[in-house]
Amino acid sequence: MKEEEKKKLESKNSNCKYIFVVGGVISGVGKGITASSIARILSDRGQTVTAIKIDPYINIDAGTMNPTEHGEVFVLDDGDETDQDMGNYERFLGVNLSRTNYMTTGRVYQSVIESERNLEYAGKCVEVVPHIPLEVIRRIELARDKAGADVVIIEIGGTVGEYQNMLFLEAARMMKIKHHKEVFFVMVSYLPIPSKVGEMKTKPTQYAVRTLNASGIQPDIIVARSKVSLDDKRKEKISMFCNVPVDHIISAPDVDSIYDIPVNFEKEGLGDMICDTVGMTCGPAMNEGSTKWKKFASSAHNKKNGLNIAIVGKYFNTGDFTLSDSYLSVIEAIKYSGYLCGSKPTLTWISSMDFEKDPKRIKELSKYDGIIVPGGFGSRGIEGIIKTIEYARKNNIPYFGLCYGMQLLVIEYARNVLGIKEANTREVNPNAKDLVIDVMADQKVKIEKKDLGGSMRLGSYPATLKKGTVAEKAYKAISIAERHRHRYEVNNAYREALEKAGLVFSGVSPDGKLCEIAELPASKHPFFLGTQFHPEFKARPLSPHPLFTAFIKACQKNKKK
Ligand code: GLN
């Protein structure tokens, strides 16, 4: 870097603001959405904002965590397998983030140990403190530089008082020494209303703030989550016992749509207050970005033109809560395209195993306007999914398959149209006679070596679309790039036969070797399309994904019929 550029960067960095978002009382009350909403507000007011998620797990990434326990694995352009909150940041901010924006305890320790092995500590004794927090700080600053950020929002996973995130709070405290006037803390707390008492209680929040104080950190702002809005009395109480000015306590009641939160925060004066507190000259609350957002947020309340969409898969016997977390990006992608087309989609989760146990039940699918099979792994429920796809194909119900949903579409077509009865994927039955879906060549070695973490085909890859196909018409482009996460692919040995039988590979890798999209032409089916990639990772509130939009339009037509 030239001397002049270096100086410019240093001066920009010396003004950069760091806003840490931490949780108090209980988890799951919306730290991620709070961080995303603050990011959105500041970005709309003209700041360059980036957001970082800190996951206190030893796992190097979220790729090895069970989605029903930890939520969706969100894949970034660079292939990092991250936490679902990274998806929220990307969607709220409308940007693409990279692995610099995500860290876990495992990742931080791994770097420190690697540096020690490389003799980078020059003979010093390497200790948990300060070396681990210093590595956290180094990573935060790296993300700042990469984004050229005016503001960095850093969400620390978990709640204060847990052992797991202590070193991250220590890093935040040390950050305050390093960049003292530029570091701020937002605590997202929870105020319960015990049913017998019927009154909102502030005491858990008071304790949480004291616990945070014990880490040497004083919150600047408290976002008070509760079932209903906070009254003045409660605000005054929190202010008095937690050392936070009354107007720095933001009421955040439950909402029907998370997209209202940035709008509500601005109503509460959060934007002006943050800009004041952190000493930034910001644009006004009413601006081009916030107007667009408001319009989108109000479209989310549209109740007209309902669409019934079935999501068929295997992870579905775990209760609604985990479900919506495991497939968060798919759900949001459907909503964005639905709202864009003036429809309110209602999703029904169907376990494909139901169709294996009782094949007659497949007819229940006739009441849906469209069917989606999302990504997945393993052999459970697969035959039921293949039956689902066959039903959608034969009964002209719009079908959209995502990753595994595309591979199984190809298997269904091979079995029932080409008559290859034993068509299968190596993932389900490596001994099947016809492995229409097989392991990718470079993946074979990785599986043999048991090199299984972060080793799939991950992240953004380009594809070329065939002119005149459903896919090309939806994208209105020939070259696209989408995010992947898979080990298996369409076996080229069967490609010609499949194409002859009418299946169109409308998207392929630029070298032509990998099938990225399989579809039936519009003349043969209202919408029958599967993608080897995960389009849901690139759907954004203000720019819905073209394939989801094409699917929704097909569902609307199907409903009208
Ligand atoms: N299990 C399939 C594979 O590994 C599909 C993966 C997915 O749906 N993300 O190729």
> From ligand 1's centre to the CA of 277, what distance in Å?
47
pLDDT at 497 exceeding the cut of 60: yes
Would you call 403 a catalytic residue per the annotation? yes
Query: Which CATH superfamily is 11-298 part of?
Result: P-loop containing nucleotide triphosphate hydrolases (3.40.50.300)
Closest CA to 144 of 19, 49, 280: 49
Ligand 1 centroid – CA 87 distance (Å): 19
Residue (of 150, 552, 166, 481) closest to 338 by Cα position: 552
* Residue of 70, 131, 179, 534 marked active site: 534
Q: Which residue has a Cα nearest atom 1 of ligand 1?
A: 377
Say whether pLDDT at 315 is over 70: no
Catalytic site includes residue 536? yes
Tell me what pLDDT residue 321 has: 46
**Within 10 A of 509 (CB to CB), how many other CB atoms are there?**
15
Task: Give the separation between CA 413 and CA 58, rounded to whole angstroms.
Answer: 42
Say how many C-beta atoms besides its own lie within 10 A of residue 267's C-beta. 12
Amino acid at 217: I
Residue with CA at minimum distance from ligand 1 atom 3: 486
Tell me which of 327, 440, 485, 491 to substitute to probe ligand 1's pocket, judged by most ligand atoms within 8 Å of the beta carbon.
485
| Torsion sign across C-alpha atoms 285, 286, 289, 295 | positive
| Protein residues whose CB sits closer than 6 Å to any atom of ligand 1 | 375-377, 403-404, 427, 485-488
> Cα of 535 to ligand 1 centre, how many Å?
14
- Residue 423's SS3 state is strand
Residue 490 and residue 368: Cα distance in Å, rounded?
A: 28
Residue range 302-560 forms a domain whose CATH class is: alpha beta
CA separation (Å) from 207 to 32, 170, 190, 485?
A: 22, 19, 11, 42
Find out whether 261 and 37 touch, Cβ atoms under 8 Å: yes
**One fold for 11-298 and 302-560:** yes
What letter does residue 117 receive in the DSSP assignment?
H
Q: What is the pLDDT of residues 342-384, one digit of tens each?
A: 999 999 999 999 999 999 999 999 999 999 999 999 999 999 9
Distance 313 CA to ligand 1 centre (A): 13
Ligand 1, atom 6, lies closest to the CA of 486
Pairing assessment for the beta strands 151-156 and 102-104 based on DSSP bridges: unpaired
What token pair was written down for 134? Answer: 């210093």
Q: Where are the domains of the chain?
A: 11-298, 302-560
> pLDDT tens across 127-154, in order?
999 999 999 999 999 999 999 999 999 9
Pick the atom of ligand 1 nearest to 427's CA.
Answer: 1
Q: Whose CA is nearest to atom 9 of ligand 1?
A: 375
Please say whether the dihedral angle defined by the alpha carbons of residues 43, 45, 47 and 48, taken in this order, is positive or negative. positive
Q: How confident is the model at residue 490 (pLDDT cuts 50, 70, 90)?
A: very high
Q: How far is the CA of 404 from the centre of ligand 1 (A)?
A: 5
Active-site residue, selected from the candidate residues 242, 403, 515, 555? 403
Buried b (16+ CB within 10 A) or exposed e, 74-112: bbbbebbbbbbbbbbbbbbbbbebbbbbbbbbbbbbebb
**What is the number of the ligand 1 atom nearest to the C-alpha of 375?**
8
Which tens digits make up the pLDDT trace of 22-32? Answer: 999 888 889 99
Mutation probe of ligand 1 site: the residue of 435, 488, 533 with most atoms within 8 A of C-beta: 488
Mutational pocket test of ligand 1: of 406, 487, 534, the residue with most ligand atoms within 8 Å of the beta carbon: 487
Distance 17 CA to ligand 1 centre (A): 40
Does the pLDDT of residue 4 top 90, yes or no? Answer: no
Q: How confident is the model at residue 157 (pLDDT cuts 50, 70, 90)?
A: very high
45-62 burial by CB neighbour count: b if 16+ within 10 A, else e?
A: bebbbbbbbbbbbebbbb
Q: Report the phi/psi class of residue 342: left, alpha or beta, with left for phi > 0 and alpha for psi in -120 to 50.
A: left
Give the model's confidence band at 320: pLDDT under 50 very low, under 70 low, under 90 confident, else very high: very low
Q: Is there a contact between 261 and 300 (Cβ–Cβ < 8 Å)?
A: no
Query: Which residues have C-beta within 8 Å of that of residue 357, sequence separation ≥ 6?
Result: none
| Residue 103, beta-bridge partner list | 54
In the predicted model, what is the mean pLDDT of residues 84-108?
96
Distance of CA 376 from the midpoint of ligand 1 (Å): 6
From CA 347, how far away is CA 314, in angstroms rounded? 15
DSSP 495-516: HHHHHHTT-EEEEE-TTS-SEE
For residue 297, give every residue at least 6 positions away whose Cβ sits within 8 Å of its Cβ, in sequence order, or none. 257, 259, 260, 262, 263
- Mean pLDDT of the region 180-202: 92
Lowest mean pLDDT among 90-99, 433-442, 485-494: 433-442
pLDDT of residue 561: 66
Dihedrals φ, ψ of 240, to 5°? -65, -45
d(CA 72, CA 67): 5
Among 49, 22, 89, which residue's Cα sits nearest to residue 282? 49
User: Which pLDDT score, from 0 to 100, does residue 316 have?
Assistant: 60
DSSP code per residue over 166-184: HHHHHHHHHHHHHTGGGEE
> What mean pLDDT is predicted for residues 412-433?
96
Contact 314, 428 (CB under 8 A): no
Residue 375 CA to ligand 1 center (angstroms) comes to: 6
Which residue, by CA, sits nearest to atom 8 of ligand 1?
375
Give the mean pLDDT of the chain. Answer: 93
Cα separations in angstroms, 419 against 194, 414, 505? 62, 6, 19
Q: For residue 527, give the 3-state DSSP assignment.
A: coil
CB 252 within 8 A of CB 37: no
Residue to substitute in 352, 426, 427, 537 for testing ligand 1 pocket (most ligand atoms within 8 angstroms of CB): 427
The residue to which tokens 């069970």 are assigned: 66
On the question of pLDDT at 318 being above 60, the answer is no
Catalytic residue list contains 268: no
155, 275, 536, 545: which one is catalytic?
536
